């Protein structure tokens, strides 16, 4: 139908104008209506490449998909187990749990789907995406990870909550302090080694005026909120040792060592009626000392922002997390090496850990 004969569906007037593709405005009744020229319509195939009836379309490229085998979203909605092998940029794991055939860097399907959604916000929430569009999203995902938009943890695809105070990489709240200190096992699905940050912690205790025990404990070696899991593991022992050294040297005569990392504010022996008064006094002093030491530790530990992760020798994984980011963009453009999405058959914590020999020195 020619444009001159196009009529408003509400009043029949031909005084219409196109305001955006396939959308028209009637100058007579001021209504808006849609019209698609039949000559521009094309009929897609009724069956997908697998021989199944086409049920939906890819929201990115409009390819017809069957829900059983073509659509990535319902098949890999969990995202943890699916990976795409890559070149130029990807992750390598020390304890990978994948079949040994899956050798080399990879990106998780979760990261790729998140990248597709970010790059095509105009499509709305993604519910149908073909394998081709996911595979082609590798360079886009690499850019988002490198820019700190998507969390850098190996199998996490959450949006970053900010930059790590140590390495300045992007991590989500779950993969940085204080969440990264949750009990062992809570972060297994993200590829973090369980219990990796259970290291020494310095503390100042308010001592009981009557019994040989602490009434209140203040930890002084905590790392700042937002520090990522790799840096957390790297710095925990160093921070605890620094806090203990400050307590031992700067508070000599005020704090009494209980062990290498714990110090107490001694109480004065008093009569029973003065017990709670003395206990409150000691707890107030312990809290004051803890605040002072904590401020000193933060000032001394994070003024330069240096991090050892960039000094990890080639072929070695990052400490405390069991993976390394393989970045070879200086000589190879990031891309998928095949159109296959590999599956992890057994989760790493459900089977004996098996080292990937490629990463051993």
> Which ranges constitute the DSSP H helices of 149-274?
229-250
Question: What average pLDDT is seen over the chain?
Answer: 79
* Per-residue pLDDT, 50: 75
Contact 187, 322 (CB under 8 A): no
Q: What is the pTM of this model?
A: 0.68
Instruction: Tell me the C-alpha distance between 140 and 148, whole Å.
Output: 13
The alpha carbon of 214 is separated from its chain's Cα centroid by a whole number of angstroms, namely: 38
Structure tokens at 112: 């790729």
Q: What is the largest CA-CA distance in the chain?
A: 103
How far apart are the C-alpha atoms of 233 and 200, rounded to whole Å?
11
Give the residue carrying structure tokens 């996911």. 134
| Predicted pLDDT of residue 251 | 95
- pLDDT tens for 274-289 read 999 999 999 999 999 9
CA distances from 144 to 113, 134, 152 (A): 12, 15, 9
Least confident of 76-85, 275-284, 307-316, 338-347: 307-316
**What is the helix, strand, coil percentage profile of the chain, to 5?**
30, 20, 50
pLDDT digits (tens, 9 = 90+) for 148-202: 999 998 888 899 999 988 888 899 988 888 777 765 444 444 555 444 444 568 8
User: Pick the residue with more confidence: 17 or 280?
Assistant: 280
Name the DSSP letter for residue 176. B
What does the pLDDT average to over 1-13?
69
Q: How many CA atoms lie within 13 A of 64 on its CB side?
A: 14
**Whether pLDDT at 229 is above 90:** no
Q: What angle do CA 64, 107, 95 make, to 5 degrees?
A: 135
As a whole-number percent, the residues of the chain with pLDDT over 90 amount to 31
For residue 332, the tally of other CB atoms under 10 A from its CB is 12
The ranges assigned to domains in the chain are 3-40, 56-160+321-359, 203-301
Long-range contact set of residues 245-251: C-beta below 8 Å, sequence gap at least 24: 246/293, 246/296, 246/297, 247/202, 247/204, 247/220, 247/289, 247/293, 250/296, 251/289, 251/293
Q: Which of 163, 162, 145 is nearest to 154 (CA)?
A: 145
Alpha helix positions (H), the chain: 72-75, 109-119, 131-135, 138-146, 229-250, 275-301
CB 58 within 8 A of CB 67: no
Q: Tell me, what DSSP letter sits at residue 213?
A: S
CB contact at 8 A, 254 and 187: no
Condensed to tens digits (0 to 9), the pLDDT of residues 98-138 reads 434 456 789 989 999 999 999 998 888 888 899 999 999 99
Q: What are phi and psi of 4, to 5 degrees?
A: -65, -30
Sign of CA dihedral 121, 169, 191, 239: negative
Interval 297-323: pLDDT, tens:
877 765 445 666 665 555 555 556 777
Contact call for residues 140 and 119 (beta carbons, < 8 A): yes
């Amino acid at each position: 139908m020619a444009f001159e004969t196009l009529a408003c569906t509400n009043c029949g007037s031909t005084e219409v104008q196109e305001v955006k593709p396939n959308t028209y405005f009637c100058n007579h009744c001021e209504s808006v209506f849609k019209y698609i020229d039949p000559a521009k319509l094309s009929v897609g195939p009724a069956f997908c490449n697998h021989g199944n009836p086409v049920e939906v379309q890819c929201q990115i490229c409009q390819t017809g998909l069957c829900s059983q085998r073509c659509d990535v979203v319902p098949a890999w909605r969990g995202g943890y187990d699916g990976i795409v092998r890559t070149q130029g940029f990807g992750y390598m794991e020390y304890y990978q749990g994948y079949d040994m055939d899956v050798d080399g860097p990879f990106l998780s399907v979760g990261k790729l789907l998140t990248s597709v959604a970010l790059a095509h916000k105009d499509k709305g929430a993604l519910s149908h995406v073909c394998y081709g569009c996911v595979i082609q999203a590798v360079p886009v995902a690499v850019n988002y990870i490198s820019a700190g938009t998507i969390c850098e943890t190996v199998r996490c695809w959450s949006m970053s909550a900010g930059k790590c105070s140590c390495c300045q990489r992007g991590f989500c709240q779950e993969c940085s302090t204080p969440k990264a200190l949750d009990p062992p096992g809570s972060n297994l699905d993200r590829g973090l080694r369980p219990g990796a940050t259970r290291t020494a912690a310095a503390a100042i205790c308010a001592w009981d005026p009557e019994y040989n025990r602490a009434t209140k404990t203040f930890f002084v070696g905590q790392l700042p909120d937002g520090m990522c899991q790799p840096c957390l593991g790297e710095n925990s022992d160093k921070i605890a040792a620094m806090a203990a050294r400050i307590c031992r040297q700067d508070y000599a005569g005020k704090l009494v060592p209980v062990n290498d990392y714990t110090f107490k504010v001694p109480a004065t022996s008093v009569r029973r009626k003065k017990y709670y008064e003395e206990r409150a006094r000691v707890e107030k002093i312990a809290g004051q000392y803890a605040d002072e030491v904590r401020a000193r530790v933060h000032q001394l530990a994070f003024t330069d922002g240096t991090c050892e992760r960039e000094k990890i020798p080639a072929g070695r994984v990052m400490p405390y997390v069991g993976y390394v980011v393989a970045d070879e963009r200086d000589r190879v453009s990031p891309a998928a090496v095949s159109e296959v999405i590999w599956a992890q058959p057994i989760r790493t914590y459900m089977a004996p850990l098996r080292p990937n020999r490629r990463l051993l020195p």
